Amino acid sequence: MHVFRPGPRAVVIAAAAGAIGLFAAGLAAAGGATTAATAPANTSSPAISGTPTQGSTLTASSGSWSGTTPITFTYGWQRCDGAGLNCASVAGATQQTYALTGDDVGKTVRVVVTATNSAGTGTASSTQTSAVSGTSAPTNTVAPAITGAATVGSTLTGSNGAWTGSSPIDYQTQWQRCDSSGSGCASMSGETASTHTVATADVGHTLRIVVTASNAGGSGQATSSPTAVIGAAGPANTAIPTISGSKVEGQRLSTTNGTWSGATSITYAYAWYRCDTNGSNCAAIAGATAATYALTAADVGHDLHVIVTATNSTGSSSARSDDIGPVTASATTTTTTTTTTTAPALGGTVRLPNGQTSVPAANVPETDRLTISRIQVSPSRIQGRAPVAITFTITETNKYVVSGALVYVLGLPYGWAAKSAEQVTTANGTVTISVAPTAKAPRTGALVLFVRARTPKGSLLAGSSTRRLIQVRIRP
């Protein structure tokens, strides 16, 4: 560099070419110049994911690219021969995904990705898929079947049977009504569920199902064997008969039929029964076969029930009402005068308002025998595990009611009912004891009760003691 010094100032008038270049580079590094954009260049090929099967969908990745961002991508799917050659674009297939069709079966598929930025474009192709396989239509291997009772009101269930073919497979069921031989079948409107409730309209016919199986490869149908000829249902009781009326001699009782299911029409027959007051030892009343019954003197002191028998074209079934009673004598009944002997006077006897004579158990001589003269059960049957209240009336030889007698109840078989302590009769000779079935008791059957009444004088085998077995029904 040459420097002239004309005066007090120094001026640079030239510089070497290399120094100027270094100066320009420094300016660029300091932000004084702009770097040029570069076009996209593929660094990792696009790839295809998915199963190459007809009906499935393939998805393309764009691969990896260098170049100035942002970079956008477009896709073009191509169909090639089985060797991956002779590729041609698939019309309209320009999305990142592609659904394989029947035209692709036996071919291979690839995708061409085009990357674009401000400096230009670049393209890259994926590797071809393996040859696309076709979808097989469903083929039935085990026929559909129907299970259930072929009677009105029952539910029939149809199965699809067994099928081969590409998954997933969808199934549709159609119920058909046929003639009694299983031919002449016609589809039933709206009956497309897997189950069918047998209706009265089906009586005398057979039923079958037609199952249609469908997948991407097509559809197939299979038919079940027909059911047996649909029969009408026999009567089945859904609510027991009920008795109404006054439980007094000379009055008339009436029964309902109860409620029944089954094929119509149903006819009803009636049979009235007379029982002990605990509902046991029942016997049919001769001639009492109407829906009403007039109480007679023979019914006084007894319980009654009615059995209703329902009959239709298929068969018969019976249902029993609850017991009603005991029947009391009519206030206007004429009594026959008989000669009676006067009962001996016992110490401590008391005349009750109802006209009975009560005697303390302590004053009953050993020569007199106690009697369990009356038993009232409420309700007349045990319902499940519910307790039942039983009222006993104790009298002695002279028909006096006995107060202070000791009454004990034991359930048989042993353990079917909870134990209860001896209880004392009241002034009118009665005592009420609650009998509660235990978990050992069955849901249906009969509970036998051993009942003992005695005076408080000691020995259980003395003449003044008495025993009795009664039966209480258990119903579910």
CA dist., res. 447 & res. 387, Å (int): 12
Of 393, 265, 258, the C-alpha closest to 319 is 258
Q: Does the pLDDT value for residue 28 go beyond 70?
A: no
CA dist., res. 312 & res. 115, Å (int): 84
CA dist., res. 402 & res. 397, Å (int): 10
Of 136, 135, 145, 137, the C-alpha closest to 222 is 145
The 10s digit of each residue's pLDDT in 236-279 is 898 999 999 999 999 999 999 999 887 778 899 999 999 987 77
CA dist., res. 275 & res. 391, Å (int): 17
What is the band of 148 on the pLDDT scale with cuts at 50, 70, 90? Answer: very high
Give the Cα-Cα-Cα angle 106, 107, 109 (nearest 5 degrees). Answer: 145
Give the residue, 14 or 181, on which the prediction is more confident: 181
Model pTM score: 0.38
Given CA atoms 408, 414, 416, 418 in this order, what sign does their dihedral have? Answer: positive
- Ramachandran region, residue 262 (left: φ > 0; alpha: ψ -120 to 50; beta: rest): left
What is the band of 8 on the pLDDT scale with cuts at 50, 70, 90? Answer: very low
Enumerate residues 6+ apart whose C-beta is below 8 A from 49.
58, 59, 61
Query: Which uninterrupted H or E stretch holds 25?
Result: helix 17-27
What is the structure's pLDDT at 375? Answer: 87
Give the residue, 292 or 276, on which the prediction is more confident: 292
What is the structure's pLDDT at 182? Answer: 94
Q: What is the mean pLDDT of the chain?
A: 84
What is the structure's pLDDT at 285? Answer: 95
Q: Does the pLDDT value for residue 347 go beyond 90?
A: no
Start and end residues for every CATH 2.60.40.2700 domain found in the chain: 1-134, 139-223, 236-320
Architecture of domain 139-223: Sandwich (2.60)
Given CA atoms 141, 193, 220, 137 in this order, what sign does their dihedral have? Answer: negative
Query: Which uninterrupted H or E stretch holds 187?
Result: strand 186-187
Q: What is the mean pLDDT of residues 398-419?
A: 86
Query: What are the backbone angles phi and psi of residue 245, rounded to the nearest 5°?
Result: 130, 170
What is the structure's pLDDT at 343? Answer: 52
Give the residue, 220 or 439, on which the prediction is more confident: 220
Of 397, 396, 390, the C-alpha closest to 423 is 390
The 10s digit of each residue's pLDDT in 163-215 is 998 888 999 999 999 999 999 999 999 999 999 999 888 988 999 999 999 98
What is the structure's pLDDT at 463? Answer: 52
Q: Does the pLDDT value for residue 440 go beyond 90?
A: no
Start and end residues for every CATH 2.60.40.1930 domain found in the chain: 350-475
Query: Which uninterrupted H or E stretch holds 47?
Result: strand 47-49
Q: What is the mean pLDDT of residues 402-420?
A: 86
Enumerate residues 6+ apart whose C-beta is below 8 A from 424.
404, 405, 406, 407, 431
- Just give the CATH number of 350-475: 2.60.40.1930
Query: What are the backbone angles phi and psi of residue 57, rounded to the nearest 5°?
Result: -115, 130
What is the structure's pLDDT at 459? Answer: 55
| Coil, helix or strand at residue 423 | strand
CA dist., res. 111 & res. 57, Å (int): 13
Architecture of domain 236-320: Sandwich (2.60)
Is 270:290 a contact under the CB 8 Å cutoff? yes
Give the Cα-Cα-Cα angle 149, 257, 252 (nearest 5 degrees). Answer: 165
Q: Does the pLDDT value for residue 234 go beyond 90?
A: no
Structure tokens at 402: 């006995």
Query: How many Cα atoms sit within 13 Å of 391 on the Cβ side?
Result: 10
What's 265's DSSP letter? P
CA dist., res. 70 & res. 140, Å (int): 55
Architecture of domain 1-134: Sandwich (2.60)
What is the structure's pLDDT at 244? Answer: 94
CA dist., res. 131 & res. 110, Å (int): 11
Alpha helices in 78-212 (DSSP H): none
Of 387, 364, 375, the C-alpha closest to 450 is 375
Give the residue, 92 or 167, on which the prediction is more confident: 92
